[in-house]
Structure formats: structure tokens, C-alpha cells
Amino acid sequence: MKKPIVSLIVIGVAGVVAAVAGTAAAQERSQATPARQAAPAAQAAPAAQGVPAVPAFATPAPLPAVSSADKGLTYHQASQVVTVKKGTARVATVTLTTAEYAAKSATATLAVRADRPFTIDPALFTVYDLEGWENEPAQRKRVRFEPGAGTLKLTFPKTAARPMALGWVPQLDKEAAAVWER
């Protein structure tokens, strides 16, 4: 008679443990299920007063870059630094950090600190030489600078005569924005 009671108690305890474990597993599933179900619903934000819905996971489109040739830009050179502005807002600063001149070649490194996306056409830089020639750089592809610090390296592999100054004319119908003399 003692054995059946002990067996029933063991079976009862095992049943309670199984029921508790099953309840805990069910609670875990029920807690995890709403998160999985909520994810698809959170993908689109509701449209507010004429604004189209944007998916919650979408990143904003990058700002369009301001071209150094933009007619609305103004340039101010103070020593090695050129400040580029659009209206009263600064767009970037361009600083000549190094310039190396050989007998008939030159290299220059410019530090660009962009406040917003900014593009520079290296072809609009010129090395003026002793005989008055204007020499173009080897780089021809536009360079985009994101907000922050960047570097532009220019090489002038062949000049007609001894290099004397580096010039930058980003707006072709205007005077040079900068001239850095040797």
C-alpha cells in the first residue's frame, strides 16, 4: 500500500514539474511571439499630413554635394586657407598643407574640411611656371568630400619651366579663388 502512494506522489511531482516547465516554455513563446509579430508592423511609419510613409529601417538620402564650380559660392583666401561659403553658411575650407616643387614638376597636398558634401574638380588647379605657362595636374576625376576632414593630393608631372605657384580657379568665368606662391 505504501508503494502506490509513493508512486502517485512521484508521478504527481513529476507532473507538476512538467506542467511548470510547459507553462514557462509557453510563457517564453508568448513573450517572443509579439516581438516577431510587431516587426512587420514597425516597418512603415504612418503618413502624417501629406508626408509619404517612409519605412522605419530606411536611412535618409545623402545630401547632394555642393560643387566647387557652383556660381552661388564665394571664396576667401587668408594665407594658406581658403574658406568656401554659400551665402553666410560655410561649405568647406581648403588648406594647402604641402607643396613640393622640382625643376619641372610639382606635387601639392590640400586638406579639405567639409561642413556638408562638397566636390572639387582637380582639373581646375594649375601650376604656374616661370615662363608663364599654366600646367594641369595628372588627376582629372572629381573628388567628393563628405562632412569632416579629407585630403586631396595633386601631381603635376611635367611643367614647361620651373614651377612658381599653385592656383585654383573653380569657377571658370571668375578670377582664381586661391593662389599659393612658392
Q: 153: domain CATH number?
A: 2.60.40.1240
Element (H, E) at 92: strand 89-101
Alpha helices by DSSP H, 42-169: none
Q: Indicate whether 43 belongs to any domain.
A: no
Give the pLDDT mean for 49-69: 75
Q: Is residue 28 part of a domain?
A: no
Name the residue among 152, 160, 153, 154 with its Cα closest to residue 135. 160
Domain span holding position 139 = 66-181
At residue 62, the pLDDT reads 76
- The pLDDT of residue 71: 95
Predicted confidence (pLDDT) at residue 19 exceeds the cutoff of 80: no
In this prediction, residues 22-38 reach a mean pLDDT of 45
Q: Is residue 128 part of a domain?
A: yes
Q: What is the mean predicted confidence (pLDDT) over 132-142? A: 95
Q: Which residue has the cell 594658406?
A: 80
Element spanning 164, H or E: strand 163-168
Asked if pLDDT for residue 16 goes beyond 60, the answer is no
Task: Kindly indicate the confidence band of residue 96, based on its pLDDT and cuts at 50, 70 and 90.
Answer: very high
**Considering the domain boundaries, does residue 39 fall inside one?**
no
Query: 51: pLDDT confidence band, cut at 50, 70 and 90?
Result: low
- The verdict on residue 60 lying in a domain is no
The pLDDT of residue 36 is 40
Q: Which pLDDT band, with edges at 50, 70 and 90, does 61 fall under?
A: confident
Question: What amino acid occupies position 157?
Answer: P
Question: Are 120 and 152 spatial neighbours (Cβ–Cβ below 8 Å)?
Answer: yes
Please give the tally of structural domains in the chain. 1
pLDDT at 35 over 60: no
Confidence class for position 55, pLDDT limits 50, 70, 90: low
Q: Does residue 75 fall inside a structural domain?
A: yes
What integer is the mean pLDDT of 24-42? 44
Highest mean pLDDT among 9-13, 40-44, 129-133: 129-133
In a domain, 103, yes or no: yes
Average of per-residue pLDDT across 112-118: 97
The per-residue pLDDT for 4 is 52
pTM above 0.75, yes or no: no
